[in-house]
Amino acid sequence: MENPLLLFPQLNTSASKDKSYYKVMKSTNKEETNKASKPGAKQKRNRLSLLLQKSEFHEDDHLGKPANLKKAASVSPEEAVKWGESFDKLLSQKAGLDAFTKFLKTEFSEENIEFWIACEDYKKSKTAHELLAKAKTIYETFIQKDAPKEVNLDFHTKEVTSQNIEQPIITAFDAAQSTVYKLMEQDSYPRFLRSDPYLNLVQGRNPSRPALRRRSRSFTVNEFQDVRSDFTIWICY
């Protein structure tokens, strides 16, 4: 019996066309699937542009904020000049104490003024129970070894203070407070008087608003892989 394909060649042609059509459709479907799952060049450009737009503009934390500018502007030059007369006069005024505290934070030594303030508050205690509670907190925060805000005290002063808090009285921290006070008076206070924020106040100048500083958002690995292959297209677009 003869081959049907030889008798009817149109069948072979039709089958061949069907096969070719199947391959084309399969290839088209695969390309559409890839396009749906993988972002195109335009979408990549948009993503990259969005990532770059997420870069944040922010200001310096110390005198750039409106609230701090307002506080600084409320101090008259005459008042600021008085801060330079003595360290005691600086700490006796709330604005002066606040300004000095901010300065110490820029030097990462704010634990000294915080300890001094805690001692001043301690001496206002009215009951033995209040003295005991505050003494324990001050000792654990500033005095004991490896305390979170340990202040720099000589061995003798630290020993005396440790003994005093066993049965705390109003003067329990006097020696330690005096030591820290002298350290700030002789070391930090002169630098404060030479600092730009203080000199601006004395001269009656409001601290100028610092220039905006750009902080770029870093790409994650996946984000960078998605857009790096399209950098050339994006630049030349």
pTM: 0.58
**Residues in CB range of 213: below 8 A, 6 or more apart:** 57, 58, 59, 60
Return the residue matching tokens 């003024």. 113
- Name the packing angle between helices 221-228 and 41-53 (round to 10°): 130
Most distant CA atoms of the chain, gap in Å = 124
> In this structure, are residues 180 and 112 in contact, taking their beta carbons and an 8 Å threshold?
yes
Using one digit for the tens of pLDDT, what is the confidence trace for 64-107? Answer: 343 443 444 489 999 999 999 999 999 999 999 999 999 999 99
**What gap in Å lies between CA 152 and CA 221, rounded to an integer?**
45
Give the position of tokens 């695969």: 30
Q: Are 48 and 230 in contact (CB under 8 A)?
A: yes
Phi, psi (degrees; rounded to nearest 5) at 17:
-65, -40
- Among the listed residues 206, 217, 213, the one whose alpha carbon sits nearest the alpha carbon of residue 76: 206
pLDDT digits 0-9 by tens, 137-176 = 999 999 999 999 999 999 999 999 999 999 999 999 999 9
pLDDT of residue 235 exceeding 50: no
pLDDT at position 179, please? 97
Tokens of 63: 């005198």
Q: What is the pLDDT of residues 169-217, one digit of tens each?
A: 999 999 999 999 999 999 999 999 999 999 999 998 765 444 444 444 4
